[in-house]
């Protein structure tokens, strides 16, 4: 097979481009999409790259359709994907739910924008609840919240593999700032890093006679009886539970002796790391914790970090009105460390905001 | 001969090129350079696709430095929303302004077509269209790709070699990239007007020989939070 990336080298990219290249490196075959800022350049770049590498693209009439066409293509064994944002993410909850029900290897990129509704086209962290727990089911999903362009590339590759390995809908949760920012990253061929790309496989039209050569393939999103559905949801839940430990990812910085722990995710965690360095330089013992997987959440890891620290408080900071905070509080129920918050819905948080907030609460 | 302060009444330049190639940075630096020569300068933000991500955050700063800036301010864009991709009427008539005009043309090849919307652009004898190329950008990271990229434009009058890798730029990266760009430019009979170099690398770069004239630039765009 033609190597897409070739020799590993540093390149200067926007986040959306890093994702489009990551999709190529992950051997994706087709994108179905509908334009919405701030994910547009994923589509634009994919459509520029697609003819050069024998890939395909279809612009559908809306996001509902884009999501369902992905569901269809996945069943035929095509490595398909989509990308969306904001109200598009809302519309796609229905196909995401179908993927959850039928256990389709659905990988989608979400570039968060301001809300509610069309909000702004620019930036937010307001799609956490929707992406991690949306739909009319149990939110059996896997959500990676990235913080820089290297991660956009890395987790795009990883996201496809996760989706095809576990067959739970998998999301790369970025945002408008990450989409548009420009920074250097290393683009590599996954095989050069020992990453094996999982080959797609068909879920329908399988070889052999049903009942003779093989069992029927039941891909269902509707059941006649409540007991049937109940059994399926319990089965999915136990399967999801059993893979949590191998899926959770987090990063932590200088929490061992920290008196205050800043908890943030995504692009805000970059500000948190800068804030910790600045606060430490001023003699304030700060540390930070960042869940990389928002679902499943690194619960045990956060509890362990808190236990090992000298924290008197934690500060949850996000560009939303408490969407991360609700997850954290739920996950570490019983932990009595006082929680302070810095909520800036739809607005960027920089180190300065965090430094000032920390100084005002310690 | 290339346009300089001495041989032309006014400077009218349009900066085009790949998304994130450094067009805005080149345009800002050029506008300030002309301003510092005591000239009257109008800098026009011509990104009609996503006017919210471009020069807007630098508006106050650039205006305080004496540049007349035409872009959509928060007030101008009230009610525009996402579907408000539109041509700022002030930008449409930009060439009728007195003094030097620097046009920052956003959004790649498709953006370059925006120039057709500027009154008098196609007829102007003053207008120079300058293509900004950064060799570290994946779509322009080889001779073949640069050649292919140049072909996608109807008209280019000159090339600016702007090979940078943000804070990780080294002299080696600059040298390698700009040499390749210059080779393709020569093949296409296009002048390389200058190579842009981050002023923080001035000392190091000055120890090397380059055939292309060097222009040291300051970076303004990192002040926009997404840059």
Q: Which long-range contacts (CB under 8 A, 24 or more apart) does B109-116 make?
A: B109/B152, B109/B153, B110/B49, B111/B16, B111/B46, B111/B47, B111/B48, B111/B49, B112/B16, B112/B153, B112/B154, B114/B46, B114/B48, B114/B87, B115/B14, B115/B16, B115/B46
What SS3 state is found at A257?
coil
Cβ neighbours of residue A330 under 8 Å, at least 6 residues apart? none
Best mutation target, A182, A266, A349, to test chain B (most B CBs within 10 A): A182
Residues of B in contact with A14 (CB under 8 A): 19-20
Which of A13, A120, A181 has its CB closest to that of B226?
A: A181
Judging contacts by C-beta atoms under 8 Å, the chain A residues touching residue B81 are 118
Q: How far is A174 from chain B (nearest CA, A)?
A: 13
Of B50, B134, B166, the CB nearest to A37: B50
Q: In chain A, pLDDT over 90 holds for what percent of residues?
A: 96
Residue-level pLDDT at B53: 62
Asked if A114 and A102 touch (Cβ cutoff 8 Å), the reply is no
Closest CB from A10, A37, A177 relative to B82: A37
Could you tell me the two tokens for A315?
Answer: 């500060």
Instruction: Report the range of poorest mean pLDDT among A343-347, B72-76, B195-199.
Output: B72-76
Q: Is the pLDDT of residue A111 over 80?
A: yes
Calpha distance A341→A195 (Å, rounded): 39
Q: Which residues of B touch A6 (CB under 8 A)?
A: none
How many angstroms from the chain centroid is the CA of residue A54? 27
Neighbours of B187 (CB within 10 A): 12
Contact A12 B136 (CB under 8 A): yes
Planar angle of CA A103, A86, A29, nearest 5 degrees: 45
Q: Do A9-193 and A250-361 have matching folds?
A: yes
Taking only the tens place, the pLDDT of each residue in B152-194 is 888 999 999 999 999 999 999 999 999 999 999 999 999 999 9
Minimum CA–CA partner of B54 in chain A: A180
A144 φ/ψ sector (left φ>0, alpha ψ -120 to 50, else beta): beta
A168 CA: distance to closest CA in chain B (Å): 32
Residues of chain A in contact with residue B167, where contact means CB-CB under 8 angstroms, are: 184
pLDDT, one tens digit per residue, over A207-241 is 999 999 999 988 999 999 999 999 999 999 999 99
B-proximal residues of A, 19-58, CB under 8 Å: 21, 36-37, 41, 48
Q: Do A13 and B137 touch (CB under 8 A)?
A: yes
B23: nearest Cα among B146, B140, B106: B106
Chain B residues 62-101 with CB within 8 Å of chain A: 81-82
Q: Where are the beta strands (DSSP E) in A55-125?
A: 56-59, 80-84, 107-112
How many other C-beta atoms lie within 10 A of the C-beta of residue B163? 27
The reply to whether residue B134 touches residue A12, judged by beta carbons under 8 angstroms, is yes
Q: Which letter, b or e, does each residue of A88-114 get, where b requires 16 or more Cβ atoms within 10 Å of its Cβ? A: bbbbbbbbbbbbbbbbbbbbbbbbbbb
C-alpha to C-alpha distance for B16 and A271, rounded to whole angstroms:
33
Rounded Cα gap, residues B222 and B219, in angstroms: 7
Please give the model's pTM, rounded to 2 decimal places. Answer: 0.90
The verdict on a CB contact (< 8 Å) between A350 and B226 is no
Residue A210 per-residue DSSP state? B
Does residue B6 register a pLDDT over 50?
A: no
The percent of residues in chain B predicted with pLDDT above 70, rounded, is 84
CATH of domain A250-361: 3.40.50.920
CB contact under 8 A, B166 and A187: no
User: Quick one: pLDDT at residue B154?
Assistant: 87
- Span A168-213, pLDDT tens digits: 999 999 999 999 999 999 999 999 999 999 999 999 999 999 999 9
Where exactly are the structural domains of chain A? Answer: 9-193, 250-361
Cβ within 8 Å of A, B 100-159: 134, 136-139, 141
Percent of residues, chain A, with pLDDT higher than 70: 99
H runs (alpha helix) in A76-202: 86-91, 93-102, 128-133, 149-166, 176-180
Closest CA to A264 of A119, A120, A125: A125
Q: To the nearest 10°, the Cα dihedral for B177, B179, B180, B185?
A: 120
Judge: B226–A123 Cβ closer than 8 Å, yes or no: yes
Beta-ladder partners of B12: B101, B127
> Could you tell me how far CA B221 lies from the centroid of its own chain?
12
Closest CB to A182: pick one of B20, B52, B168: B20
Q: Give the nearest chain A residue to B163 (CA atoms).
A: A12
CB < 8 Å to B19, chain A: 14, 17, 41
pLDDT in tens, B106-162: 776 676 777 888 888 888 899 999 999 999 999 999 999 999 999 988 899 999 999
B196 burial via Cβ count (<10 Å: 0-12, 13-18, 19+)? buried
Element (H, E) at B205: helix B202-205
pLDDT of residue B115: 82
Measured between CB atoms, does B20 come within 8 Å of chain A?
yes
Q: How far apart are CA B193 and CA B30, in angstroms?
A: 12
pLDDT confidence bin for B1, thresholds 50/70/90: very low
- Per-residue pLDDT of B13-44, as tens digits, reads 999 998 889 999 999 999 999 999 999 999 99
Interchain pair A182, B81: CB under 8 A: no
- Looking at residue B37, the DSSP 8-state letter turns out to be T
Nearest chain A Cα distance for residue B156, angstroms: 21
CB-CB under 8 Å, B138 with A180: no
Report the C-alpha gap between A271 and A349 in whole angstroms.
Answer: 7
Report residue A269 as tokens: 């965690």
Residue whose entry in the numeric block shows the structure tokens 């909850």: A93
Average pLDDT taken over every residue of chain A: 96
Local structure of A183: helix, strand or coil: strand
What domains does chain B contain, in order, with CATH numbers? 12-223 (3.40.50.300)
ipTM of the complex: 0.79
From the list B52, B136, B227, the residue facing A122 with the nearest CB is B52
Q: Which residue has 């007829």 as its token pair?
A: B123
Q: What is the pLDDT of residue B51?
A: 60
* Secondary structure element (H or E) that encloses residue A252, with its range: strand A250-253
Chain A interface disruption, residue of B82, B172, B174, B177, most A CBs within 10 A: B82
Q: Do B136 and A180 touch (CB under 8 A)?
A: no
Closest in B53, B141, B167 to A180, CB measured: B53
Closest Cα in chain A to B149: A48
- The residue that leads in pLDDT, B223 or A139, is A139
pLDDT at B84 over 60: no
| Residue B226, pLDDT above cutoff 80 | no
Closest-CA residue of chain B to A348: B225
Q: Which CATH architecture has domain A9-193?
A: 3-Layer(aba) Sandwich (3.40)
DSSP B46: -
Neighbours of A282 (CB within 10 A): 10
User: A39 with A84: CB under 8 angstroms?
Assistant: yes
């Amino acid at each position: 097979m033609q190597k897409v990336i070739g020799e590993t080298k540093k390149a200067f990219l926007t986040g959306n481009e890093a994702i489009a290249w990551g999709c190529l490196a992950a051997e994706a075959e087709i994108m179905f999409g509908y334009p919405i800022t701030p994910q547009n350049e994923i589509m634009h770049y994919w459509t520029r790259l697609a003819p050069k590498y024998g890939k395909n693209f279809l612009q559908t009439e809306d996001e509902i359709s884009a999501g369902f066409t992905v569901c269809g293509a996945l069943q035929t064994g095509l490595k398909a994907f989509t990308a969306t944002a904001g109200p598009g993410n809302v519309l796609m909850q229905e196909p995401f739910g179908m993927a959850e029900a039928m256990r389709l290897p659905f990988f989608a990129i979400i570039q968060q924008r301001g809300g509610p509704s069309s909000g702004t086209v620019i930036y937010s962290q307001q799609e956490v609840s929707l992406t991690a727990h949306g739909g009319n089911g149990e939110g059996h999903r896997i959500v990676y919240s990235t913080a820089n362009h290297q991660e956009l590339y890395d987790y795009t590759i990883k996201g496809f593999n996760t989706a095809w390995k576990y067959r739970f809908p998998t999301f790369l949760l970025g945002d408008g700032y990450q989409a548009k920012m420009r920074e250097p990253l290393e683009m590599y061929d996954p095989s050069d890093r020992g990453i094996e790309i999982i080959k797609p496989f068909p879920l329908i039209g399988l070889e052999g006679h049903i009942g003779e050569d093989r069992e029927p393939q039941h891909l269902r999103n509707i059941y006649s009886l409540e007991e049937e559905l109940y059994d399926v949801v319990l089965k999915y839940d136990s399967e999801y539970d059993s893979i949590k430990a191998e899926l959770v990812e987090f990063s932590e910085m200088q929490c061992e002796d920290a008196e205050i722990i800043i908890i943030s995710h995504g692009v805000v965690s970059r500000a948190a790391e800068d804030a910790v360095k600045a606060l430490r330089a001023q003699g304030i013992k700060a540390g930070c914790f960042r869940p990389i997987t928002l679902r499943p959440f690194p619960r045990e890891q956060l509890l362990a970090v808190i236990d090992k620290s000298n924290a008197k408080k934690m500060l949850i900071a996000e560009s939303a009105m408490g969407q991360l905070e609700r997850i954290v509080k739920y996950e570490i129920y019983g932990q009595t460390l006082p929680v302070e918050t810095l909520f800036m819905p739809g607005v960027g948080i920089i180190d300065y905001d965090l430094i000032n907030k920390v100084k005002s609460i310690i | 001969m290339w346009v300089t302060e001495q041989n032309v009444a006014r400077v009218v330049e349009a900066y085009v090129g790949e998304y994130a190639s450094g067009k805005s940075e080149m345009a800002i630096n050029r506008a300030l350079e002309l301003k510092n020569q005591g000239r009257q300068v109008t800098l026009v933000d011509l990104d009609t696709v996503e006017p919210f991500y471009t020069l807007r955050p630098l508006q106050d700063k650039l205006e305080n430095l004496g540049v007349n800036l035409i872009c959509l301010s928060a007030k101008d864009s009230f009610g525009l929303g996402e579907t408000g991709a539109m041509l700022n009427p002030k930008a449409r008539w930009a060439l009728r302004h007195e003094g030097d005009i620097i046009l920052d043309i956003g959004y790649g090849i498709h953006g370059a077509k925006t120039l057709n919307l500027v009154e008098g652009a196609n007829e102007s004898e003053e207008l120079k269209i300058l293509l900004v190329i950064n060799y570290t950008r994946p779509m322009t990271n080889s001779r073949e790709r640069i050649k292919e990229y140049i072909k996608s434009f109807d008209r280019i009058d000159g090339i600016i070699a702007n090979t940078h890798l943000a804070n990780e730029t080294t002299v080696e990266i600059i040298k390698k990239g700009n040499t390749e760009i210059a080779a393709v430019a020569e093949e296409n009979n296009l002048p390389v007007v200058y190579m842009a170099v981050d002023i923080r690398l001035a000392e190091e770069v000055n120890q090397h020989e380059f055939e292309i004239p060097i222009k040291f630039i300051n970076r303004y765009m990192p002040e926009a939070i997404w840059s």
